[in-house]
Chains A and B, each alone.
Chain A
Amino acid sequence: MQNGDPHIGMEDETYTDINGKAISLECQSHSGFCREFTVSSAKVSIGRVMVYTCAVWLSAYTIFFFTENTAVLSGAIIVTLVGMMVHIHFVKVDHETLLVIGSLGVQVSSSYASGRESTDFIEMDKIKDIVINEAIHMQRVIYYLCILLKDPTDPEGVSSVVPLFQSSKPRLNCLIKVYKSCQEILAKC
């Protein structure tokens, strides 16, 4: 056990998500019972923002050229601004963090590009297990990590499944690493 060493998992191994984009996994071990996994995907690239903005403005200008209605141009500006804000506030996730604290619970949080964070905590006595599962996702079959929640009425049963790292969608090698670490902690409590 590498207690006390805060950065056990700065990996040499490179991870990608299911679309082949590079992501990074950071494992922090706060103590033997507490580990934090952060999956970070690439930041919003200026290039892509420019491309989308230009596309909207060019099409708006084309329409303006034929209709000569200036409302189109102001509309385009509003669309790009609102679109970008919605994107960084609700869609684009920069980091997803999974904090496992033995005997206490699991905290799942994702921080959006705008800085907004959404956090969820699941108590340990509600958690049955953390497993890697397979699912059909958009014409593909992928692996994902999920938390199985206990069914309060039936101790053997599972009431629902909480998928983890939903927006970064790491590939199997990354999931296995997180899974093994989590299981080490779950086995101890």
Chain B
Amino acid sequence: MVHKGLAFLFYCFLVSVIGFSPVAAQVDTLREVKIKSKRISTFSGQSLGSAELEKINNLSVADAVKHLSGVQLKDYGGVGGLKTINVRNLGSLHTGIFYDGIQLGNAQNGQVNLGKFSLDNVENISLVNGQSQNLLLPARAYALANSLNIESKKPQFHDRKDQFKLTLKSGSFGLVNPLFKWDHELNSKIYSSFSAEYQKAHGRYKFPEPTSNNLLIRENGYLNALRLEAGLYGIAVDSSVWSLQTYLHKSNRGLPRIVVRNNSSSRQQLWDDDFFIQASFTKPLSKFYKISGRSKYAYNHNRYLDPDWPDSVGKIENSYQHNEYYLSIANSYQVNSKISVSLATDIIRNWMDAKIDLSTTAFPKPVRYTGLIAVKSKLLIKNFDLEASLLETIVNESVKIGKSAADKTALSPFVEASWKPFKSINLRLRGFYKESFRLPTFNDQYYTLIGNADLKPEYTTQYDLGFNFVKTFSSNIKYVSLRGDVYYNKVQDKIVALPSYKSLFLWTMLNVAEVQVKGVEMGLNSEMLIRQSVSLTANLNYTYQQALDKTKGGANFNEFIPYAPQHAGSAVIGLSKSRYLLNYNFLYTGERYGLRPNNNDGYMEPWYTHDISAGYKSTYKQLSCKFLAEVNNLLNQSYDVVRNYPMPGRSYRITLTINY
């Protein structure tokens, strides 16, 4: 609490001193790749704008990212189940999740649950393989292998000072999900935005028992969550922009048990409180020099309860709290018409404390300072772009009790080039090389009896070659856009838990595994008029990959790593005619293994789901209404994304949105 108060004061101070402030520097980049603009993307990545997001049956950011190629969403099932992103099989901790340009950190376990981010307040989601081309990126954006950028919705004020939005969602799993948003224009330069959302679901669904096919009920998947978000946004005369945002998410959920023969019930619960306040600004200081700053304070508190632990106390109750202070300054300077350079410096302070039952020692209360310095230069000659950057990471860690991890320093290079070979053809060839790493999490290092303070970072190397092609037509077909990539990734010193001796408690984290991923991704986007006023949009993605265990001397050398299908694909097809919408989504994940040995035991069947939705929009003066009905997993396929965590079968959802 003291921390929160201090942080708030600090931010008030910061904002008042600077006098103007923030906004995601990401915005420019994102605009660039929006298909609407028909501009050709020069970097390796994909995005889903609000038009695309509207066509996907979804509740959270997690549902949307499944439609990006190269993405595996690890999903434990149901409304409340943990959902994390894994890009090109590097592992979920190698993707940085950025909310309005500032990373959502989790020094404890590195996992960011994308199920927490409701899509109602999201304008754009983009996945950048390698690195975004924006010059004013924070140094943190250079650090991880990939980044997923979530951009919150910004209002467009026309002639009214206030805008209201009310959304009601309801459907299967006992879902009740109201949302309210109020945007207010304070003056021509400043506006505020406030939104509140509540989610409640019992989370129960039927699933067939794996062998007998008897229908069982998935229990303990309930969710109660409240989200409150408020922001102040401004634009100054010199075209500088600033923002100040706060975010609070409180949830309580059941943790359903892994399903095994005759046992699928659990009473484990998790409470999460996530709070952050962040500010950012971008300001041109001259025609050639721009500066941007970002800062953040985040606090997370988690409580876990297992009321059925068989010791004499009869339960396990753990609590974890961590916080983060973050400050970043980025500068960009345009040297001449061909060359621009940038320098970004970030400082992060992470702290964690925990009270862990069964723990034999007091928690070490680690504090980690991370300093990041990134330099980048960009060369632009006619149709040729060349970007190179170098990131220096300095980590200093200390603990109150016990052994601290050693200080670390590392250099991470990145090079990207793109070339438009023909003047009249909108084709761009591009490629990048990136080295990056993820630090061991606090859990990796300090978790009782498992943690290993001697862990090294986990390194990744990425090579990518790709193209983007866009053709616009003056016929019924408005445009066709194609994207293709071949890539080769390596993960070295991968951190895995290995048993030391014969004991449940004596597993230890070690840097032993190596993974090699080769893949091909293809994407196709198009919009056409089928008949007068009936427009069809299609977004198709396909990924082929081979993610192999290359651990030297390992028992599974050259076998597929768990949860890495060779084939995956998706299709989003939307039809619209004036007020009516009809959407079809298809997802396919090929066969894969859910356990380390590639044998019958761990074999997982392919799954493919068909979702459809139909909507109707109507406007009356300043009031607009939208009604959407969705059927998910239309053919009621039973499948697991994570082995022995069954996913829901056919489900329904209706959404009513009123804008005023």
Verify that A and B bind, or say they do not. Answer: no
Measured CB to CB, the residues of A under 8 A from B are: none
Measured CB to CB, the residues of B under 8 A from A are: none
